[in-house]
Amino acid sequence: MARELQHGATIWDVARKAGVSITTVSHSLNGKGNISEATRERVRAVASEMGYVADAMARGLRSSKMNAIGLVFRSLDSLGNYGPNGVDVFMKLAGAAAAETLNRNLGLMLVPDLSRGPLPPFSMSLDGYIVFAPHLDDPVVALLEKRGIPYVTWDRDPGRPDFRNWVAHDDAASTRVVLNHLAAAGAGSIAYVGGTDRNAWNFDCEAAYVAWCLETGKEPRIYHVPERDGVEGGRQVGARILGDGMPGAVFCLTGRHASGAAQAMQECGVRIPGDLLVCTGSDSEHSRQHKPPISALDVDIPAAAAALVERLCEVMEGKSGSDPVLLVARFLHRKSTSPGKTRNQQKRGF
């Protein structure tokens, strides 16, 4: 149906009905200017009675503010399988960010990968962007940078150490928490399984692992599995690890890899946690539902979303120079790293 017909009342309609000028309407509704309280009230009443809502585009055109921010949806491909890791984290973040932006009366626009294809009409008019896990030399970041659009990132930009508008977990600290926990639980040697995406998470966790090995005098055992290979990739690496000689523990960054690796090894008769401890750097349904449940680092998604949106708002307001925001990952201690637990605890999924 033609929107023209139904298109809501304009500021003119309100002005006419209230018997004032459009300026008065604008000022009344926006709490600006010098308007008598009586008039202000009357205008407000008329406006709300008419269901008047200022046209976002007209307003935006004038103030060059869209009142909406974008959330970049990198690599749609990887979402193709809608696995718990791809979608889970990203989409939960989208939900939490939407809640967060609503509080500030901003819209949240999902923008699937800006770096390929024609730009969606709105993409360059948005007030700011949240970029999820930029990788090395990310073209999306380059585009935003070139156009001077404010943005913050989840995880630091691995190629740009001076860019400081990011929010992330303290990956180095989290990694040490895990490794120390594993060592304390009796793991003599710990194998590490990272992903292949060139993002800060992979880089920093691996670096922390290597540093920790150096400090504790252990021999690093590093494996890489492409994120997209998911559980199956995990199974394969599990087999490889077994082939290379069973370690005391395995730390898989990705939840799906952890689940796959544990699965494959259990099928070979390895008992978890009896023979081997397993832990993941990213909690997901896979780690929660695995038998036994797999210990994991957990992203506090609402906190992350809140921090990202808040920081972005600061940047949009021109504030700069703040430090990056480091969140603490929660460590969820579960059965997979608890040798010697009773049957009862096991049953409760702990």
Residue 8 sits in the site that holds its own copies (CB under 8 A): yes
H/E stretch holding 148 reads none
**Residue 76, interface with its own copies (CB under 8 A)?**
yes
Residue closer to its own copies by CB (options 7, 184) is 7
Q: Are strands 325-327 and 166-169 parallel, antiparallel or unpaired?
A: parallel
Peptide bond into 273 cis (omega under 30): yes
Going along 288-340, which residue ranges are E strands?
295-298, 325-327, 330-332
Maximum alpha-carbon separation in the chain: 85
- Residue closer to its own copies by CB (options 26, 175) is 26
What does 30 interact with, of DNA, its own copies, none (CB < 5 to 8 A by kind)? DNA
Residue 313 found at the interface with its own copies (CB under 8 A)? no
The token pair at 236 is 């394969």
Tokens representing 126 are 């948005």
What distance in Å separates the CA atoms of residue 132 and residue 6, rounded to the nearest whole number?
A: 38
Residue 7 binds DNA, judged by CB under 7 A: yes
CA atoms within 13 A on the CB side of 53: 5
Q: Is the dihedral of CA 166, 167, 171, 173 positive or negative?
A: positive
CB neighbours (10 Å) of residue 158? 19
CA-to-CA distance for 95 and 297, rounded, in angstroms? 20
Q: Which of its own copies, DNA, none is residue 82 near (CB under 5 to 8 Å by kind)?
A: its own copies
Site for its own copies in 34-73 (CB under 8 A): 51, 53-61, 64-68, 73
Residue 22: contacted member of its own copies, DNA, none (CB under 5 to 8 Å, by partner type)? DNA
305 lines the binding site for its own copies (CB under 8 A): no
User: Looking at beta carbons only, is 202 or 284 nearer to its own copies?
Assistant: 284
Span near DNA by CB under 7 A; candidates 35-43, 211-219, 247-255, 320-328: 35-43
Comparison of 216 and 319: residue with beta carbon closer to its own copies: 319
Q: Residue 29 binds what, of DNA, its own copies, none (CB under 5 to 8 Å, by partner type)?
A: DNA
Q: Which is nearer to DNA, 21 or 196 (CB)?
A: 21
Regarding 303 and contact with its own copies (CB under 8 A), the answer is no
Per partner kind, with CB cut-offs from 5 to 8 A, the member of its own copies, DNA, none near residue 211 is: none
202 lines the binding site for DNA (CB under 7 A): no
- The sign of the CA dihedral 128, 129, 135, 137 is negative
Q: Which is nearer to its own copies, 194 or 292 (CB)?
A: 292
Surface-to-core class of residue 170, CB atoms within 10 Å of its CB (0-12 exposed, 13-18 middle, 19+ buried): middle
Q: Is 27 in the site for DNA (CB under 7 A)?
A: yes
- The answer to the question of residue 50 lying near DNA (CB under 7 A) is no
∠ Cα 142 89 323 (to 5°): 50
The Cα–Cα gap between 273 and 106 comes to 47
Among 23, 48, 320, 345, binds its own copies (CB under 8 A): 320
As to burial, measured by CB atoms within 10 angstroms (0-12 exposed, 13-18 middle, 19+ buried), residue 7 is: exposed
The interface region with DNA, picked from 19-27, 227-235, 268-276, 332-340 by CB under 7 A, is 19-27
11 contacts DNA (rule: CB under 7 A): yes
Q: Which does 111 bind (CB under 5 to 8 A by kind): DNA, its own copies, none?
A: its own copies
User: How many other C-beta atoms are found inside a 10 Å radius of the C-beta of residue 13?
Assistant: 16
Residues that bind DNA (CB under 7 A): 7, 10-12, 19-24, 26-27, 29-30, 32-36, 38-39, 52, 54-55, 58-59, 61-64
